[in-house]
Structure 1
Amino acid sequence: MSVSSPAARLAVLYEHPQWFQPLFAALERRGMSYLPIALSGHRFDPATRDAPAPLVLSRVAQSSFLREPEHPIFYAEALLDHWERCGARVLNGADVLAIDSSKARQLSLITSLGYAVPETRVVHRGRDLAAAAEGMRYPLLVKANIGGSGAGIARYSSAEELRASIADLTVPQSVDQVLLVQDYVPPRGGTILRIETLGGRFLYAIEAESGGDNFDLCPADACIAQPGRKAIRMTAITPSSELIDAAERIARAAGLDLGSVEVVIDDRDGTPRFYDINAMSNFVADPLNVLGWDPHDRLIDYLETLITEKVAA
C-alpha cells in the first residue's frame, strides 16, 4: 500500500466514493505515494500557508449535488484557490472548476474560439424560459447550468409542453439558479463523441450512444454498474484531425489539465456542435478491451513528470 503520510508529493482531492478506486489502484501498482483527501466533512483554515502536497489533482464531480444536499462544489473552488495561493500546483484548479461548473461559461468559451454550439439562451428564473425559447425550434432541452451524470436535463416537444412544465414547477432546477434553454441537436448516427485530453493534448476518444431522452453517458465502471442503468454502447474511435485540433484548443483555453470535450454531429446539416467541457471526465470502463491500453498509466506518467518539475523548480 503506497498511500502516504501528509509528506506525499501528490494529493488527490475527491468526492465520489467509488469512481477513483481504479486511479488509486494504478498509483499503488506504480509504487507512487499519494495522499487521498475526501471532500466530505473537509475543513481548512485560510490563514495557514501549507498545501497538502506540491502537486494536487482535483477530482471534483459536478454530480456531487445528487449525492449530498450540502454538496462541496463551491467549497472545493475556495479550497483549491487557497492551495494554489499556498504554492501548490493544482491540476484542474479553481479556475477550471469555475468553467466546469457552468455550462453557460463553457458555451461562451467555445464560441469565442469560433466553434459551433447548439443554439442556447441563458436565464436565471424558470418563469423566463418560455420567453427565452421564442423563435427557437422544437424539440428543445432545458438544462441546469450545473449538472452531471445526465441530471437536470429535460426535453420538451412543444411550447405548450414547456409552458405547462413552467406552470407546474417541474422544469429542471440548478443549484446556482442558472438555466439554459437549448436546441435539441439530433445526433448523426445516434451517437456523441467524447474526446479525452491530458495536458491539453489528445488522449483518446469514444463514441457513445445517445438516445433522445437519455443524457447520462458516464463511461466509468462505477457508473455502468449502477442498478437499473441501461447499458450504453461505447466504442473507441479516432476522430478527424479537425475535431482533435478543436478539442485540444478548447481544453487549453479552459486550462484543462485532464478531462473531455464533447461534440455532436448535427444530423440536419453535418455541423460539429461542441456542448460540454468536462473536467471530471471518468476514463472508460474496461479500457484494455475498449482501447487496448489503460489511460491511468499515461496519467501517472504525466503526474510523475509534473512532480519532478515541481521539485526541481
Structure 2
Amino acid sequence: MTNESQNAPAVYILHENPEWLPALRTGFEAENVPYRELELTSGSIDLGAEPPKGVFWSRLSASSHTRGNDHAKEYARAILRWLEAHGRRVVNGSPVLELEVSKVAQYAALGAAGFDVPKTVAVFGKDALSERAREFELPFITKHNQGGKGLGVRRFESYEEFDAYVASDEFEEPVDGITLLQEYVVTAEPFITRAEFVGGKFLYAVRVDTSAGSFELCPAEACAVPADGADGAASTIDLANLTVAAAEIGGFVAASAACEVPADSGLFRIRPEISAATPLIGNLEAFLAAQGIEVAGIEFFETADGRVIVYDINTNTNYNPDVEATVELPGARAVARVLGQELEQLHQPA
C-alpha cells in the first residue's frame, strides 16, 4: 500500500494471491498511482455503508481454490455487487468475473462472436462422462470448467482408459462439478500465443514455447509434469493441449503445484509480427469491448490443419519479466497508467 492518506481516493486491487502482486506494485509506484490492496480471503463489508472513493480492479483468479481460498470467488461476487450497486468504477466487474471462473462461459461467448474454439462437451457430474467421450475422436482431453493451473487436463488414447480413470480414485473432481471433454489439437509449431490487452487495447503478443511440455503457461510461471513410463523414461504433457511427449502412450499424468520459471528461461518472447493491425487482434478488441473486459491475456494457437483457435481468457493476467524488460511500455506500468487515468477522472467536474 502506498503512503497516501487512507481517506484519499486510490486504485483498489482486489486479489487473493499476494505472490502475483510485486510486479504490479512496482508498476503503480513507477507511475506514481496511489493504490491499496484488498485480499479476497477474509474480512467483512457493511452493506449499508458507502464504499470508499476510488477505482476498483478485480483480479480474482479461477484457480483461487487451489491455494486454500475456497470461497474467494463468492467473496469477490459479494464485494463487486456492493461496489457496483453504489456506482463505483469497477474494472473487470461482475460479468467479467463470471467469464474468469467458467470455461463454458468463455467458449460460449467466443463461439457466439465467431471465433473458432475447441470442440467441447460440458458434463455435469460423472454419470454421462463415458457416454459423451465416445463422441470424440482419439485421442481427446479433459479439463476442469473452473480451471487455471491446468486443472484436470489429461490426454486419453482409448475410451477404456478413460472409463477406468473415471471409475478410479484418481479421478479429479472439479470444484464446480463440471468436467469438459475436448478435442485434442495439434499445433503447427510447438508454441501458443498470448495477446495482452490493457484498457481494452492491444499491448503486445507473447510467443510461449511448449516444446518441453510445459505444465502452466501463465507468463509468470510454468511447470513440467514428469511421470515414469514403463521403461523409466519421463513423460511430459503440455496442459494447454498443444503437444505431448510420452514415453508410454496412453499413460496420463496429473497436475502438480506451480513452479517458477527462471528469468532467463526463454520460454516467453515477443511476437513482433502481431500488432494492433492484425485482423485477429482487432476482432479480439471488439470482443473484449462487448464483454466489458478491460485487462486480459487471451491465448490462441495456430493448428497444423490451418485453424486459429482461441481457447483461454485470463482476466487476472500476469506479466513475464523477460518480456517486460524488452517492451517500450511494460504491462504492469500500462495497467497502472490506465487505472491512474481512471482515478484522475473521478476528480473531474461532472
The residue that corresponds to 2:189 in the other structure is 189
Name whichever structure is richer in helix by fraction.
1
The alpha-carbon deviation at position 290 of structure 1 amounts to: 3.9
The residue that corresponds to 1:220 in the other structure is 220
SS in 2 for 1:46: coil
The alpha-carbon deviation at position 249 of structure 1 amounts to: 2.5
Q: Where do residues 76-87 of structure 1 align in structure 2 (5 Å cutoff)?
A: 76-87=76-87
The alpha-carbon deviation at position 119 of structure 1 amounts to: 0.6
d(CA) in 2 for partners of 1:147 and 1:120? 15
Contact 2:102 2:146 in 1 (8 A): yes
The residue that corresponds to 1:275 in the other structure is 311
The alpha-carbon deviation at position 223 of structure 1 amounts to: 8.7
- Deviation by residue 1:250-303 (Cα, 9 ceiling, x = unmatched): 322321110111111121x11001111110111122334343542222222211
Q: Where do residues 39-50 of structure 1 align in structure 2 (5 Å cutoff)?
A: 39-48=40-49, 50=50
Q: Which runs of 4+ in 1 moved over 4 A?
A: 221-224, 226-232
The alpha-carbon deviation at position 219 of structure 1 amounts to: 0.9
d(CA) in 1 for partners of 2:62 and 2:197? 18
The residue that corresponds to 2:269 in the other structure is 235
**What stretches of structure 1 of length at least 5 have no aligned partner?**
none
- Deviation by residue 1:156-187 (Cα, 9 ceiling, x = unmatched): 12211111111114333221111210011112
Structure 1 letter corresponding to 2:270: A
The alpha-carbon deviation at position 196 of structure 1 amounts to: 0.9
SS in 2 for 1:274: strand
Contact 1:140 1:182 in 2 (8 A): yes
Contact 2:13 2:59 in 1 (8 A): yes
d(CA) in 2 for partners of 1:212 and 1:115? 28
The alpha-carbon deviation at position 211 of structure 1 amounts to: 5.2
Q: How has the CA–CA distance of structure 1 residues 95 and 223 changed in structure 2, closer, same or farther, with 3 Å as cutoff?
A: farther
Contact 1:3 1:35 in 2 (8 A): no
**Deviation larger for 231-240 or 37-46:** 231-240
Q: How has the CA–CA distance of structure 1 residues 213 and 134 changed in structure 2, closer, same or farther, with 3 Å as cutoff?
A: farther
Q: Does 1:255 align with 2:301?
A: no
The residue that corresponds to 1:264 in the other structure is 301
Structure-2-length-normalised TM-score: 0.82
Structure 1 letter corresponding to 2:122: V
Structure 2 letter corresponding to 1:209: D
Contact 2:10 2:35 in 1 (8 A): yes
The structure whose Rg is larger is 2
SS in 2 for 1:297: helix
Match of 2:338 among 266, 278, 302: 302
The residue that corresponds to 2:179 in the other structure is 179
- Deviation by residue 1:91-133 (Cα, 9 ceiling, x = unmatched): 1111100111100010000010111111110111123122122
The residue that corresponds to 2:206 in the other structure is 206
**Deviation larger for 82-91 or 211-220:** 211-220
Q: How has the CA–CA distance of structure 1 residues 22 and 223 changed in structure 2, closer, same or farther, with 3 Å as cutoff?
A: farther
Q: How has the CA–CA distance of structure 1 residues 72 and 113 changed in structure 2, closer, same or farther, with 3 Å as cutoff?
A: same
**Deviation larger for 93-102 or 296-305:** 296-305
d(CA) in 1 for partners of 2:2 and 2:136? 55
The residue that corresponds to 2:254 in the other structure is none
Q: Where do residues 121-140 of structure 1 align in structure 2 (5 Å cutoff)?
A: 121-140=121-140
Structure-1-length-normalised TM-score: 0.91
Contact 2:196 2:298 in 1 (8 A): yes
- Deviation by residue 1:183-205 (Cα, 9 ceiling, x = unmatched): 11112211111111112211111
The alpha-carbon deviation at position 83 of structure 1 amounts to: 0.8
SS in 1 for 2:145: strand
The residue that corresponds to 2:237 in the other structure is none
Contact 1:143 1:172 in 2 (8 A): no
The alpha-carbon deviation at position 232 of structure 1 amounts to: 6.5
Contact 1:287 1:293 in 2 (8 A): no
RMSD of equivalent CA atoms: 2.5
d(CA) in 2 for partners of 1:291 and 1:192? 19
The alpha-carbon deviation at position 17 of structure 1 amounts to: 1.7
Contact 2:103 2:312 in 1 (8 A): yes
**Deviation larger for 107-116 or 237-246:** 237-246
d(CA) in 1 for partners of 2:223 and 2:46? 34
